[in-house]
């Protein structure tokens, strides 16, 4: 299931990614913290892939049993807000239910990411601060809310 998910991610196929997720999926990472439900989690992936064309994803060190799994993956992309090139190294943990991913949690070095994505002086000087983390999280959450509103079947 993890390989199937990352193969779909590498192709930018969010429909196939969604087929790997349980209806009660929850997702967390240093930026989005906790997202609950298919609409929000898949909406996040769609928004990120649409906003960062040319994302390259490669996964390795995939390990799983019937209940849980892990993977390390690399995302290479241009951060749309700044035009800066990012190479993000991510460790993922997964939990499975009914043969699908019910919990997906990603960890990465926020400070390292902010240096690449935001550059100097913001990412270098402020990348470790709670203030910058909160600002990035709030902006990402706001973009996701706007994206979901504008892409809702009842919004148009």
Q: What is the DSSP string of 89-150?
A: EEEEEEEEETTEEEEEEEE--HHHHHHHHH-TTHHHHHTT-HHHHHHHHHHHHHHHHHHHHH
**Token pair listed for 127:** 């990348």
Q: Give me the residues paired with residue 64 across strands.
A: 69
The Cα diameter of the chain in Å comes to 47
**pTM score:** 0.88
Q: d(Cα 67, Cα 96) in Å, to the nearest integer?
A: 5
Write out pLDDT tens, residues 33-92.
999 999 999 999 999 998 777 899 999 999 999 999 999 999 999 988 889 999 999 999
Phi-psi region for residue 78, left (φ > 0), alpha (ψ -120 to 50) or beta?
beta
Mean pLDDT for the stretch of residues 20-37: 96
Write out pLDDT tens, residues 128-155.
678 888 998 999 999 999 999 998 654 3
Per-residue pLDDT, 69: 98
Written out in words, the top-level CATH class of the domain with range 2-108 is alpha beta
Per-residue pLDDT, 120: 76
φ and ψ at residue 75, rounded to 5 degrees: -115, 130
Write out pLDDT tens, residues 99-127.
999 999 999 999 899 889 888 776 666 66
Per-residue pLDDT, 29: 97
Per-residue pLDDT, 155: 39
């Amino acid at each position: 299931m993890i390989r199937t998910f990352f193969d779909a991610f590498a192709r930018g196929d969010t429909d196939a990614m969604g087929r790997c997720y349980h209806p009660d999926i929850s997702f967390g990472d240093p930026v989005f913290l906790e997202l609950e439900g298919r609409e929000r989690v898949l909406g996040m992936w769609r928004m990120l892939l649409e906003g960062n064309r040319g994302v390259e994803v490669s996964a390795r060190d995939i390990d799983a049993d019937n209940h849980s799994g892990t993977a390390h993956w690399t995302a290479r992309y241009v951060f749309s807000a700044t035009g800066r090139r990012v190479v993000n190294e991510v460790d993922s943990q997964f939990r499975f239910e009914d043969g699908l991913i019910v919990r997906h949690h990603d960890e990465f070095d926020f400070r390292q990411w902010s240096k690449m994505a935001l550059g100097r002086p913001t990412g270098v000087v402020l990348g470790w601060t709670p203030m910058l983390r909160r600002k990035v999280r709030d902006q990402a959450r706001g973009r996701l809310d706007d994206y979901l509103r504008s892409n809702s079947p009842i919004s148009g």
